[in-house]
Structure 1
């Protein structure tokens, strides 16, 4: 049985949906803190059990009978994040899983400018130490994050953000397709995958130009000093630590940590990944949200 954690989140939900097109529902299990939120999957024959990364007993029940466990990384940063990931790894090992998969990120490394990438590196260390074969899905940076950063600026006509660098923005939908393909073809990758990215790495200057072409309006890109951007975030109520973590994304982009593009994602999903132009067009034309 393939167990997927975080199966009602943006990525996890889509991974389960893709798996259901590849393997029977009774071979899929979900580990989730609130099983009621996954009733739609249960109604389709997926095994749904409560599992929390802070409750080892719940993980033992949720991971029971697992052949593979996909650990979808938690929406936290720092020690708490790594501690929960280690608990999930321990749970998968105890359950006898023969492979552990993990949603990591391109640029994962102990020296990254971005805290999340340092957390991913620490989690990958724990996977290596587990003694169980593992696959670390080095996902491209989410295109949805670019939209969050740029949305106000696209509306106002000026995208004002810290200095950045090229980023291989990649959609949740494509990454979910890739994860399902890897789960269905067990053993395709050992250890970290190549970067799973779309075909282009774009800066916010590029995004402003694409948005301008789509809307027919002039959309400019202005650079805000890091200190000014940090003050803006904290002035809007963001904790200082959160502001520093967000700034880390721009520092990492400037250092080229998210600039790589690789054909592996296209090979896994059997088509070209969705482009940022497509994402922007869907968002700005009021179409379906390709990020979901």
Structure 2
């Protein structure tokens, strides 16, 4: 059995949908905080059990009989994510899980100024010490482009801090590739990168957007402290704004610049590009 955590979230839920196309439903389980939100999976034959990273006993029950567990990483900057991930890893091992697949982050290496990298690095270390086989899928940035680029469609300007090349990746592609890995389509050990085949910058996005819209979209570099002040003025907490600033700092130092062919190999096709995603955003 394959058990997926976070199956009512975007990535976990999409991964389950792809698994259902590959293996029988009775070989799939999900561990979710609220089982009612996973009723659509239960109706299709998926085993649904309640579990959260804060409750090790519930996790052990949710993971019972699992040969593999997909551990979808938490993302609450105020929580002890390493401790919560430790709970999940220990519960999976106690349940006899042979392999743990973890959704890590591209560039999860020492020195990366983007602060969430720290808990991904620590979690990967816990996996290495767990005694179970493990795979860390270091996923490329897959956040919505409208959040990444800001209100450029209204203003005609991409006004963000100085950035660097990033292989912006489609979440749907990552979910499909994750299902391929879990279903046995490819044996992967340790950390691997899942990212779009080309890294782009905001300058590139401005050029792509100009071509797609027939308008001149300008790229304006905003000073770091001015950007933080603007974010705070718009209602973003200071701590959150400064956390996000470290993402820009990491990108300009090249921590997210690596493009990798693995995602295309797992999909058996080319992943969606930044231009593909931007065209879809414009069309919506």
Report the TM range for the smaller structure's normalisation: over 0.9
- Give the deviation of 1:187 after TM superposition: 6.9
Give CA deviations for 1:168-213 in whole Å, capped at 9, x if unaligned. Answer: 11011110111111101177011111x2111110001111111111
Corresponding residue of 2:170: 171
Residue 78 (structure 1) shift? 6.3
TM superposition shift of 1:110: 2.8
Q: How does 1:1-292 map to 2 (within 5 A)?
A: 1-77=1-77, 80-142=80-142, 144-185=143-184, 188-193=187-192, 195-286=193-284
- The 1-side partners of 2:78 and 2:261 are apart by 31
Q: How much has 1:153 moved relative to structure 2?
A: 2.0
Map Cα deviations across residues 111-155 of structure 1 (whole Å, 9 max, x no partner): 21101122111110111111111000111111x344312141232
Query: Does the CA contact (< 8 Å) of 2:186 and 2:266 recur in 1?
Result: no
Partners of 2:200 and 2:153 lie apart in 1 by 16
Aligned residues: 284
Deviation at 1:218, TM superposition (A): 1.2
State the 4+ residue runs in structure 1 displaced beyond 4 angstroms.
Answer: none
RMSD: 1.3
Show the counterpart of 1:289: none
Structure 1 portions without partners, runs of 5+:
287-292
* Structure 2 alignment gaps of length 5 or more: none
Alpha-carbon distance in structure 2 between the residues aligned to 1:52 and 1:79: 13
Please give the per-residue CA displacement for 1:48-84, whole angstroms capped at 9, x wherever unaligned. Answer: 1110100111111111111100000112236612221
What SS class does the counterpart of residue 136 from structure 2 fall into? strand
Contact 1:162 1:224 (C-alpha < 8 Å) held by counterparts: yes
Aligned residue for 2:100, secondary structure, equals strand
Q: Deviations over 1:206-248 (max 9, x none)?
A: 1111111111111101011110111111222222221111001
Matched-pair contact (CA < 8 Å) for 1:208–1:221: yes
TM-score, normalised relative to structure 1: 0.94
Mapped to 1, the partners of 2:50 and 2:186 lie a distance apart of 27
Q: Is the deviation greater in 27-36 or in 205-214?
A: 205-214
Give distance in 1, aligned partners of 2:153 and 2:197: 23
1:39, distance to aligned residue in structure 2 (A): 0.8
Q: What secondary structure, in the 3-state scheme, does the structure 2 residue paired with 1:221 have?
A: strand
